[in-house]
DNA sequence: GTCTATATTACGATAGAC
DNA sequence: GTCTATCGTAATATAGAC
């Protein structure tokens, strides 16, 4: 639920540490994510990460080959989940509208539940070496193209009205990634509430909400009273 | 146009350098912005900035008191323009729909014309000290609230259909800030083309495009052929 | 698996000559 | 306005004991 990796679940045996202690790694990644978020990747030293984890800097090198490996693990918490958990929603059950709503709610909810990792994934990509950067971007493109194909299919089916589904996918992603920049717990909207409302707005954006439109120019509106 | 500040325009006289040479400052800020964008604020040293500007590191301190001052100037190129040039569009002439389209086109166009500064303004805020950070956020909130009030007025006038104008303002800003993350020259869409299309999509998002909606569920579409 | 100690390099910033 | 030289600090990473 938080940003721990899935633990392999074997090795509940004795013998202690054969798979290089994945749980400990995940703990340390979570600590590093938090600091990367607060001060930026280059703004945090290995000494600071170690201090926050209550060990010495040198001990980190027992678990990770480099500082960059800590960064890569942080980022994968986000991009792996999007492709593994979110993308299949689009192939699942329900109308196109229902599936899009479910995707957006899950996406925004994931931001709220993994704030440190999202912040890092959104801002520190360039700190990766070219090879590792490519690996991450493969995931991103898969998510983006999956959504584009889905919007094209939904338009062909008459549920959406996207003239350029590829561009609409970018616009939707731009919008639903936005809360990563500004949402924080304790604000006006809880993350579930925000997720639901953004899902409705995304539906409008792709032309899938026949009720969310004002009448023609110059007429009075016939919808409900202006909230706020 | 580019990310140079407005030059004071006095001192075309003799005497050379009384107003601390604003043009030279702007040059150096542009160089710094480019490097901050490429490698991140903490990933770039004063020596690297100096080398790119073809002077020595110590010489930078003749123009700027600190590295942070270079960062602040980079960020202001964006936030000052938004409030000074963009916000007045909403108070200008035309229908609400026309004004929103103009704002979005100008906003996306500004991203395309000031890529380095936008990148830095979007990602390196946290590197500012708390006092300077507050100054920048005053600009940001003014832009955001200005758009929210405008959407509320446009809804009351019957041109938009925003149930929660404050949230719609965030959604629109999230969307139109998005190209800062992915647009680059030479891609599928020129920045003007992108700006026009995002303006149309923003209109949908606020319920201001009566033609951009698919019919009810289960029916065949009656709009133009599915592009691609 | 964590420690102490350290090698090496780079950092932001300053002093003072020209 | 730019230079050379340098101060003091902190960076990533390694060696080797326990």
What is the CB neighbour count within 10 angstroms for residue B16?
Answer: 7
Q: What pLDDT does A18 receive?
A: 36
Confidence (pLDDT) at B82? 97
Chain B residues with CB under 8 Å of A167 CB are: 189, 194, 197, 201
Instruction: Assess whether A199 and A109 both reside in one domain.
Output: yes
Asked whether strand C has any atom less than 7 Å from the CB of A161, the reply is no
What pLDDT digit, counting tens, does each position of A30-71 carry? 999 999 999 999 999 999 999 999 999 999 999 999 999 999
User: What local confidence, expressed as pLDDT, does residue B218 receive?
Assistant: 43
CA of B108 to C1' of D12 (A): 40
Q: How many CA atoms lie within 13 A of A190 on its CB side?
A: 2
Answer whether B154's CB lies under 8 Å from B160's CB: yes
Q: How far is CA B19 from CA A87, B55, B63, B99, B103, in A?
A: 57, 21, 11, 38, 34
**A127 lies in which domain range?**
75-227
> Is B57 among the domain residues?
yes
Residue B177, domain CATH? 1.10.357.10
My answer on whether B83 and B42 are in the same domain is: no
* Structural domains of chain B, count: 2
Tell me, what CATH number does A46's domain have?
A: 1.10.10.60
Given pLDDT bands bounded at 50, 70 and 90, which one contains residue A20?
Answer: low
- Of the candidates B65, B98, B115, which is a domain's last residue? B65
pTM assigned to the model: 0.88
Same domain, B50 and B118: no
Q: How far is it, in rounded angstroms, from Cα A72 to Cα B204?
A: 37
Answer yes or no: is A70 within a domain.
Answer: no
Q: Say whether pLDDT at B228 is over 70.
A: no
Q: What share of chain B is helix, strand, coil (3-state, %, to 5)?
A: 65, 0, 35
Nearest nucleotide to the CA of B24, by C1', is D1
Is the pLDDT score of B196 beyond 50?
A: yes
My answer on whether A103 and A126 are in the same domain is yes
Better-scored residue on pLDDT, B71 or A221: B71
A141 and A193 share one domain: yes
Q: What torsion do the CA atoms of A161, A203, B184, B114 make, to the nearest 10 degrees? A: 120
Answer yes or no: is pLDDT of B8 > 80.
no
* Range 53-82 of B in CB contact (< 8 A) with A: none
Distance CA B208, CA B212 (A): 9
Question: Is residue A93 pLDDT above 50, yes or no?
Answer: yes
- For residues A17 and A119, membership in a common domain is answered with no
B119: CB partners within 8 A, 6+ apart? B36, B37, B180
């Amino acid at each position: 639920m938080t940003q721990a990796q899935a633990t392999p679940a074997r090795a509940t045996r004795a013998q202690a540490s054969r798979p290089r202690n994945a749980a400990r790694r995940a703990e340390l990644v979570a600590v590093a994510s938090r600091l990367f978020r607060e001060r930026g990747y280059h703004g945090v030293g290995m000494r600071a990460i170690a201090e926050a984890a209550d060990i010495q800097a040198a001990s980190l090198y027992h678990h990770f080959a480099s500082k960059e490996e800590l960064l890569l693990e942080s980022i994968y918490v986000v991009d792996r989940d999007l492709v593994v958990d979110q993308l299949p929603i689009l192939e699942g059950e329900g109308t196109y509208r229902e599936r899009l709503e479910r995707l957006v709610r899950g996406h925004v909810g994931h931001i709220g539940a993994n704030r440190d990792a999202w912040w890092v994934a959104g801002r520190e990509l360039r700190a990766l070496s070219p090879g590792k950067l490519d690996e991450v971007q493969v995931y991103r493109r898969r998510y983006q193209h999956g959504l584009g194909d889905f919007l094209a299919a939904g338009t062909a089916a008459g549920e959406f009205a996207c003239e350029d589904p590829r561009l609409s996918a970018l616009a939707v992603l731009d919008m639903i990634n936005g809360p990563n920049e500004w949402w924080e717990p304790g604000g006006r909207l809880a993350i579930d509430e925000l997720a639901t409302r953004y899902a409705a707005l995304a539906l409008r954006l792709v032309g899938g909400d026949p009720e969310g439109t004002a009448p023609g120019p110059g007429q009075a509106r016939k919808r409900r009273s202006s909230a706020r």
